[in-house]
């Protein structure tokens, strides 16, 4: 995260190795002595970012997922030297080309890159943030990725203000517009479809044979409010289900919760 003098310094990294353990490439892992204010001889940046996961797809691509505390992130810089900007083509025409603005405190934004597994070259990527208003970003965590054919999928958890497109479900009027989500992108990280599943917490996914499966957990009922309305009252509503294999909630705080999608429909 950021080096403040009151906490350990850490930064994101990604390494690629061959089958014999020989290092092929490395990304990020910037020199911590340079991540200080320009007044002290640094580049004025903070690492402020953590690598979270990697995944592969059937096209030979590698997905790298990272999270940043706010908008000051080294993922917007050249991964071999944070003093230089990232190649503009990586974020050209994608869903969200920057880490977001208007964060209050250390709100989380996420970024996912598709990379060449042999060289580590970043080919394309997109940031994802929720948005309280068009100028005020909100936290969003990507927890996993997968690819299948012409599509790329990400799942995670979003604070209020998830940007959906042709969603499968939405919170009822006055409810909380966020929680576990699935987003579908094309190979250029343009959004194809995206939606959240009110009350859920999505943590894993996989895609093969024309199917996409996402999973996590959810309570029987969710409670929340529309954060874009001052002093909006909390309302309670049922977590959405479709053709459930379990006809009633099992009890306790949460049950397992999953959904299966067919790409051709």
Name the DSSP class of 77.
Answer: B
What does the alpha-carbon distance between residue 143 and residue 67 come to, in Å, rounded to a whole number?
Answer: 10
Q: Which domain holds residue 187?
A: 13-262
Average pLDDT on 198-219 reads 95
Q: Which of 242, 220, 237 is nearest to 175 (CA)?
A: 237
CA 258 to the chain's CA centroid: 18
Average pLDDT on 212-223 reads 95
What does the alpha-carbon distance between residue 85 and residue 125 come to, in Å, rounded to a whole number?
Answer: 15
Confidence check: pLDDT of 3 > 70: no
Output the pLDDT for position 10.
64
Output the pLDDT for position 128.
96
* Per-residue pLDDT reduced to its tens digit, 24-48: 999 998 877 777 767 777 776 666 7
223 in a domain, yes or no? yes
- Across 68-72, 77-81, 107-111, least confident range: 68-72
Q: Which of 82, 73, 75, 69 is nearest to 33 (CA)?
A: 82
Average pLDDT on 140-154 reads 94
Instruction: Tell me which H or E stretch contains 142.
Output: strand 140-148
Confidence check: pLDDT of 208 > 70: yes
49 in a domain, yes or no? yes
What does the alpha-carbon distance between residue 75 and residue 82 come to, in Å, rounded to a whole number?
Answer: 9
133 in a domain, yes or no? yes
Helix, strand, coil distribution of the chain in percent, nearest 5: 5, 45, 50
What does the alpha-carbon distance between residue 98 and residue 212 come to, in Å, rounded to a whole number?
Answer: 28
Question: Which residue did the predictor score with more confidence, 11 or 246?
Answer: 246
Average pLDDT on 218-239 reads 93
152 in a domain, yes or no? yes
Reading the block at residue 172, the tokens are: 């009822």
Confidence check: pLDDT of 220 > 80: yes
Confidence check: pLDDT of 2 > 50: no
Give the confidence band of 235 by pLDDT, cuts at 50, 70, 90: very high
Question: Which residue did the predictor score with more confidence, 39 or 129?
Answer: 129
Q: Could you give the angle at the alpha carbon of 139 between the alpha carbons of 76 and 46, nearest 5°?
A: 35
Reading the block at residue 32, the tokens are: 């911590």
* Per-residue pLDDT reduced to its tens digit, 100-127: 888 876 688 999 999 999 999 999 999 9
Average pLDDT on 138-144 reads 94
Confidence check: pLDDT of 223 > 90: yes
Give the confidence band of 5 by pLDDT, cuts at 50, 70, 90: low
Output the pLDDT for position 1.
40
Confidence check: pLDDT of 226 > 50: yes
Counted domains in the chain: 1
174 in a domain, yes or no? yes
Q: Could you give the angle at the alpha carbon of 138 between the alpha carbons of 110 and 146, nearest 5°?
A: 30
Neighbouring CB atoms inside 10 A of 231's CB total 5
Confidence check: pLDDT of 92 > 60: yes
244 in a domain, yes or no? yes
| Three-state SS letters, 147-206 | EECCEEEEEEEECCCCCCECCCCCCCCCCCCCEEEEEEEECCCCEEEEEECCCCEEEEEE
7 in a domain, yes or no? no
2 in a domain, yes or no? no
Output the pLDDT for position 31.
79
């Amino acid at each position: 995260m950021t080096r403040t003098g009151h906490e350990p310094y850490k930064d994101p990294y990604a390494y690629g190795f061959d089958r014999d353990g020989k290092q092929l490439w490395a990304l990020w892992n910037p020199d911590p002595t340079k991540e200080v204010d320009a007044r002290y001889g640094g580049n004025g940046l903070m690492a402020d970012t953590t690598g979270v996961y990697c995944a592969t797809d059937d096209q030979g691509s590698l997905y790298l997922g990272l999270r940043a505390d706010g908008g000051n992130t080294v993922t917007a810089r050249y991964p071999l030297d944070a003093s230089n900007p990232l190649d503009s083509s990586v974020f050209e025409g994608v869903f969200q080309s920057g880490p977001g603005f208007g964060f209050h405190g250390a709100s989380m934004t996420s970024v996912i890159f598709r990379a060449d597994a042999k060289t580590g070259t970043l080919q394309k990527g997109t940031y994802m943030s929720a948005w309280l208003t068009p100028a005020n970003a909100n936290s969003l965590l990507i927890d996993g990725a997968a690819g299948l054919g012409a599509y790329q999928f990400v799942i995670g958890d979003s604070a209020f203000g998830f940007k959906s497109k042709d969603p499968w479900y939405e919170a009822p009027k006055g409810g909380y517009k966020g929680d576990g989500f699935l987003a579908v992108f094309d190979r250029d990280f343009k959004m194809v479809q995206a939606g959240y599943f009110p009350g859920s917490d999505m943590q894993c996914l996989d895609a093969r044979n024309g199917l996409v499966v996402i999973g996590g957990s959810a309570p029987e009922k969710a409670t929340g409010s529309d954060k874009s309305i001052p002093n909006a009252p909390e309302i309670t509503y049922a977590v959405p289900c479709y053709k459930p294999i379990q006809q009633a909630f099992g009890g306790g705080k949460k049950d397992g919760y999953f959904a299966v999608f067919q790409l051709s429909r």
